[in-house]
Structure 1
Amino acid sequence: MKKCHIAYLACTAALLGTGLGAAPPVAGRTVHLVLPGESIQKAVDAAEPGDTVLLTFGVYHESVTLSTPGLTLRGMGRHTVLEPAAVTGKAAGAAKAAGAAKAASTGKASGAAAGACAADGNGICVVGTKDHRVKDVTVAALTVSGFTRTGVHATATDHLTVRNVTAVKNGVWGIAQEGSVRGVFRGNTARDNGDAGLFLANSVKEEQGATDTDGTVVERNRLEGNRIGVTVRRLRNLTVAHNDLTGNCAAVFVVGDENKPKAGLVTVRENRIVRNNKSCPKTARLDALQGSGIVLTGAEDSLITRNLIEDNVGTSPLSGGIVLFKSFVGTTSDRNRISDNALRGNSPADLVVTDIAGKGNTFEGNACRTSRPAGLC
């Protein structure tokens, strides 16, 4: 591992044979350069707030945990690749326990914490606590592939940025965040992941009301071949915009339940949602999926506007261009505005409302041909 102060980035550029961007130097911040075969976690452990850990081209067989505020973990594009390391079950369990103890006692990432990340089946873990969210971490310009659970998993973060990350063929989620605020997910590609390409939730393990994300943004991502492109679960105050979603079983899910406060205040706008016709089987909590564009279930006060939604075709109860569906536990979707969308070729219809008990939902200015019930276009 080599180390340079940002004021001397020319030396790093010379080592790599490439430029590192136009950001101005900042006194006292350091770039930790990691080559294939070297430990990313060692560089992360050595980094101070505001530093950058820079990965060159190549394949790294490692999981990494970040809990240092202001830290940037950056590759050099999609040919900087993180894949799982071979870890035995016994070793993984020991590492997980040691990592949990270390995090509880110090709040700082360590090799043991990275072992816990690996044992949970994740590639990159960004970890804060309920009392102290980790702030201003960035993960950028790399690929995470083949992890049994999640490519990039974040919990208890504030203003996490994930940009230009490619998450491919991970067992559950490509990129996931829970219990966090002010996240920015921009310019990523999530492809062929077992569940959602991008998954955002209040909590995975606890039943509780929706939490306010303070304006989290999901924009200009490409999401294809996943079970669901983007899942927003039990959250409020979030925007999903300018994304390209194709080849998933379902494109966008906004999900709530009976807990208070209710999920909602989500804006889904100006997305391209085309041919999400992959077939996915029924699960314990959800019917089989195929041909779903945007699904609102148990959500309130959301805006679905100016989306292009075409040729999403299926026979699932959740199939259709834009679907309002009563939640798994019977909670209605209320006071949502569906306006100025362009829909065509969706089946069983462009607009589908099976949540007939929902109140105050409006449909205005949509360019569409078919609806269930009739008269919504």
Structure 2
Amino acid sequence: MTSVSNGGRVDCLDGLRGLAALWVLVGHAHLLTGFSVPVIGDPDLGVDLFIMLSGFLMVFHYQRRKEREPWEASSTWITFWIRRYFRIAPLYYVMLVAALTLGPFIYDARMVIDGFNGVEPQLASRYLDSSLTNYLAHVTFLFGFSPEYAFRTALPDWSIGLEMQFYAALPFIIIVVGRIGWIKGIVGASFAGIVISYALNRLGISFPMPTFLPLKMHIFAAGMLLAGALWTDRIRAFQFATIAMVLVLAPLGGGKDLLHQSVRISLVLIFFAFIHTHRLPETPAKLLRPIGAWLGNGFFHSLGELSFGAYLIHLMVMQPVIAYLIKATDVSDPVRWALSLVITVPIVYGLAWVGYNLIEMPGQNVGRGLTKPRASV
């Protein structure tokens, strides 16, 4: 493996990204079948890992490219935004049309599920609003700013809007970091998010999901710090990790109980250990190096590459499957949960593979082509 400290490839990222998507899928299967298991049955924690990975990756790639793509130049911002747009938008738009078209079918399935689990039914507007306003809100990725439209499709796309807000803000955060330093800049961005979130709460503005960037800025910031620490000395790296652990404890978005907060701290520690193995004592380093390499093997590379598609697609497949199992079988909740995964996982990853090859990769190639430096004449 190329040395991470010198900006090389981080083997474990493929596996962590793939496992984060699988965590969300497994967690939703728990919630929808009524089979309750702590931690792995909580998709919010899987999303938090995704968010931390995103914060890490954006800074990691920035640090590697900053000599040839300095973010003091606005042209670099445009290049970054175009690449990220064509990474996210093509498959998302296809899935958005599918979700809004199939909304009534998925809504019927969800009513069966909610009735079976004895929970408050989902609002019909989440599945049945195929209005032009809803389309425009999602096509422009502005839905994350609106409590009314933030959770209004059959997709788990609240986090996609959140991600796009992070991309929009990232160049400005990096510029601030470059001027006042990593700790002041990242902690300042997180603190601003906390202040805005509490101000919204005092004003009575509530989001159905934490789709507004200030509500999750502290999780992105934790990942950013772990990436920035790669270009510091050992003592500073551990300081960055400590601050990251404090940041993820901000009581915003998702579960705030002791278990959730303990898991978030654990995610920071595990992530830090894998990407900063060269800074650990020899005994844990010897244990983690082969695991990190294993997480970067061919299987986990594929799992990571398919993670975005699997994340987008899984609820549209899973809800009809679980509704069918509820109506057609009389089994215990754990068995229903297991059956839902046995049926859903192959379908979801098969569709994700098709989407990756026919939509995601061509879209990314368009983004690269649009931002490729022009040869001078």
TM-score by length of structure 1 reads 0.24
TM-score by length of structure 2 reads 0.24
**Structure with the largest fraction of helix:** 2
**Structure with the largest fraction of strand:** 1
| Higher RCO, 1 vs 2 (CA within 8 Å, ≥6 residues apart) | 2
